[in-house]
Structure formats: C-alpha cells, structure tokens
Amino acid sequence: MLPVTTALEALRRARRIAVFTGAGMSAESGIPTFRDRMTGLWAQTDPMEVATPQAFRADPQWVWDWHVHVAAAVTLARPNPGHRAIAALATGGRRVDVITQNIDGLHQAAGSGGVVELHGNLFRLKPFIDEEAAFAAAEAPVICGVCDGYAAWDDCDPYATREDFAELRLAPGPVPRCPGCGALLRPDVVWFNEMLDPAVLDAAMAAVDACDVLLCIGSSLEVEPAASLPWRALRRGVPVLEINPQPTALSAQALSLRGRAAEILPELLASIAGR
Ligand code: APR
C-alpha cells in the first residue's frame, strides 16, 4: 500500500487531480449503491433486467416507469459533505476533473464543473435507437434534425425544434416521443449491454492521463470500462488514494482510506488545504 505521508504530500502538491466516483459517493445522500440493490430503491426490480435496450424494446412503458420511480428518489437527494469537499478542492489554481459513474447529477449540484458522466444522466433524454431494427432495415436510416436519432417518421412535425425536444423531461405518464419525428425517447443513461459514449470515455481517459493524483471514491470497480481508469493512472506511476468502507481489487496498490466518503473527504481535504 502507498504510504500515507507520500500520498498526502502528493495530494497537497498536485496541480491537477482526477476524482473518480461510484455509487458509494452518493450513499450518504440517501441513494443506495448498486450492489446493495436488493434493499431500498432497487428491491422490487433488478436493474440488470429493466435497464437494458432489450427490456425497452419489449416494453418501453415499464422501463420508463421504472426510471421515473428511481428518479423520484434521486430528485430528493442532496449533495453530501463529500460532494461539497470535492467541489471546494478546485481552488488556488488546482484543476479537478470529476469523472463519475453516477447518473444523479449531485457533483454538479455541489458546484463541480465539467463533470464527465461516464454512465450518463438520469434527467436528460435521448432518442431510443433500436440497433437491431436499423440493421435489419432495407434502407439506411435518416437522422432526425430535432433529436439526432434515427427518424421514426411516425408523427412528423416539420416545425418542431431542438428547443421543443430540450424541454422534455423524465416524468410520470406515457413514454414521450421526439416532437420532430415521433421516435420514442429514453433517459440518457448507459444501460446494461450498452457501450459508453466514446467521446465521454475519451474525456475521462484524457483527465486520468493528465492528473498528478487520482482519488477513487465509492466504487466496487466491478464494471468495465470505467473500472480500468484508476489502473490507468497507476500504470503511469500516479499516486492513487481510495476511499471506501470495503476493500476492492485496487486497495493493495492505493492509499486505502477505509471509511465513508462524506466523513473522510472533508477531513482529508481540510488536511491539505493549508499547504
Ligand atoms: N462512502 C464510500 N464508499 C461507499 C460508501 C460510502 N458511504 N458506501 C458504500 N460504498 C462503497 C461500497 O463498499 C462499494 O465498493 O461503494 C461501492 C459501491 O459499489 P457499486 O454499488 O458496485 O457501485 P459502482 O462501483 O458505482 O457501480 C458501477 O455498476 O450497476 C452499474 O452502471 C452502474 O454505475 C454503476 C456501475
């Protein structure tokens, strides 16, 4: 394990810090982690069954309603002292790149800017692109000028605008459709069995490649490709500090601070503030 003094000194001196977060970051804001999913918010339905393109194709309304149910709980959550400590870290010429697997928007609510959302954001919408149908179609799809999806032409409105689309929100009721082409809309999150947006993954790798120190907070590191990001930093010889009440595969190679993010982060960052 990385010695405490070495890690803290590296953090104190860092000009550019990458902060990589998972569900544990928001646990103290009241959002249960994924691997605790048999309790609380996730108890009724296994996300691995409902948060997939296959499930949406089979029953869009069920998948939409489940996301509305999750969003109702997430909307009540507020940033915790850990989120706020990370936002406060970006002072005095220090650059902080937050890379999160969370879809709850709490880093932004705490004041962090330019957050890289690897798995999207629950409160943004995008068109559902049925890759299987597109591959099977005889003709190449036309891209809709309003939603940027494959135009469905179910309900074409030539006067619809991108602003009309941008106003649509995740809310109870029927699954919304693109105001321009009628394509079904879905939350802009990465479901199981889906690839990450390559541009977003590139942004995350660029931040990791440029950092002097990486903080890894509240992730089980079980889901790729996100889980590889801390190792990418380690391969460059960059010090990695991990905050998690449980050990992970990374713990042996990081400075492993065993405890909860909302408690440890304010203390840790206060300890380096007076540098
Ligand atoms: N502070 C810090 N860490 C915590 C806390 C806390 N208060 N509470 C729990 N943890 C840790 C757990 O010990 C665990 O290691 O947070 C981690 C949560 O792990 P997961 O639930 O697997 O969450 P995450 O790593 O973000 O999952 C990755 O999997 O389900 C998919 O797409 C989903 O983004 C998610 C991805």
Taking the C-alpha atoms of residue 122 and residue 238, their distance in angstroms, rounded to an integer, is 32
| Cα 209 from Cα 152, distance rounded (Å) | 40
85 token code pair: 């400590």
Binding site membership of 112 for ligand 1 (Cβ less than 6 Å)? no
Residue minimizing CA distance to atom 30 of ligand 1: 34
pTM over 0.85: yes
Q: Distances in Å between the alpha carbon of 7 and those of 40, 147, 166?
A: 36, 46, 44
Q: Is the pLDDT of residue 153 over 80?
A: no
Mean pLDDT of the chain: 91
Distance (Å) from CA 170 to ligand 1 centroid: 24
pLDDT digits (tens, 9 = 90+) for 91-135: 888 999 999 999 999 999 999 999 999 999 999 999 999 877 777
Decide if 83 is catalytic. Answer: no
State yes or no: pLDDT of 1 exceeds 80.
Answer: no
What ranges do the domains of the chain cover? 3-123+194-272, 129-183
Q: What is the pLDDT of residue 196?
A: 96
Please report, rounded to a whole number, the percentage of residues in the chain having pLDDT higher than 90: 75
Q: Is 260 in the pocket of ligand 1 (CB under 6 A)?
A: yes
Look at residue 267 in the predicted model and tell me its pLDDT.
Answer: 92
**pLDDT of res. 38:** 54
pLDDT above 50 (res 80): yes
Q: What CATH class does 3-123+194-272 carry?
A: alpha beta
Q: How far is CA 63 from the centre of its chain?
A: 19
**104 CB within 6 A, ligand 1:** no
Q: Who has greater pLDDT, 212 or 6?
A: 212
Residue 275 has a pLDDT of: 47
Cα–ligand 1 centroid distance for 39 (angstroms): 14
- Cis bond upstream, residue 127 (ω within 30): no
Position 43 pLDDT exceeds 70:
no
Atom of ligand 1 nearest to the CA of 260: 1
